[in-house]
Amino acid sequence: MTHSWIHVGRTMRLRLPCLADADISVAWRNSPEMSDCILGYRFPVTRAAETEWVRQVIEDKSRSRVVLAIEPKSEDGIIGYCYLNGINWFDHVAEFGILIGEERWRGKGVGIETARFLCRYAFETLNLERLYLRVAQYNARAVSIYERIGFVREGAWRNHVFRGGARHDVILMGLLRSEWQGNN
């Protein structure tokens, strides 16, 4: 399939999602490792439900979210998604997120490169002032990426998540445009 690339970086390229992506992403959504990291919908997902989610993303006319599929430059096929959700055009803020679903691509620099692009896009193209996110305290890899690009811990929802027979905090993090410009 031929795609129009929104961004081509050193290790990855970003594009709009297509319906065929659901065939790949449904497996991530149902893997125990990924469901432990996802703080939203955590029930098993059917292929039809994942296809419907991708269809809603494609057809979304709300102008309140940006969802991009991540592909490695070295091969075809989606390996994750990144997004800005709940874009508030009055306050210039949005929720930031990234998911590298293909395990073999984690720890290869794709996540941090994608995160840096998404921040640059949010601040320089969309003129946002603040990005925020939620991440489970046990998701050390994600916390490390967010801190490396400048996100700061702003608080926590204590004992908010139940995983592996124990309760865990959810860390709240934020990044201001001025902090981004000073670090990147």
Q: Which residues contact 18 (CB under 8 A, 6 or more apart)?
A: 1, 3, 54, 58, 69
Could you tell me which of 63, 61, 70 has the C-alpha nearest to residue 16? 70
Look at phi and psi of residue 92 and say left if phi exceeds 0, alpha if psi is from -120 to 50, else beta. Answer: left
Give Dmax (Cα) for the chain: 45
Instruction: Lowest mean pLDDT of 6-10, 30-34, 130-134, 145-149, name the range.
Output: 30-34
- The residue count of the chain comes to 184
Could you tell me which of 95, 113, 91 has the C-alpha nearest to residue 39? 95
Here the tokens at position 176 are 């201001």
Q: For 85-138, what is each residue's pLDDT tens digit? A: 999 999 999 999 999 999 899 889 999 999 999 999 999 999 999 999 999 999
> 0.85 exceeded by the pTM?
yes
Residue identified by tokens 């959504």 is: 29
* 55, 150 contact by CB (below 8 A): no
3-state secondary structure of 126: coil
Sketch out the chain's domains with CATH numbers.
5-183 (3.40.630.30)
Q: For 19-62, what is each residue's pLDDT tens digit? A: 999 999 999 888 877 777 777 777 888 999 999 999 999 999 99
Order of strands, edge to edge, in the sheet holding 80-88?
5-8, 12-15, 66-72, 80-88, 93-100, 130-136, 166-176, 152-163
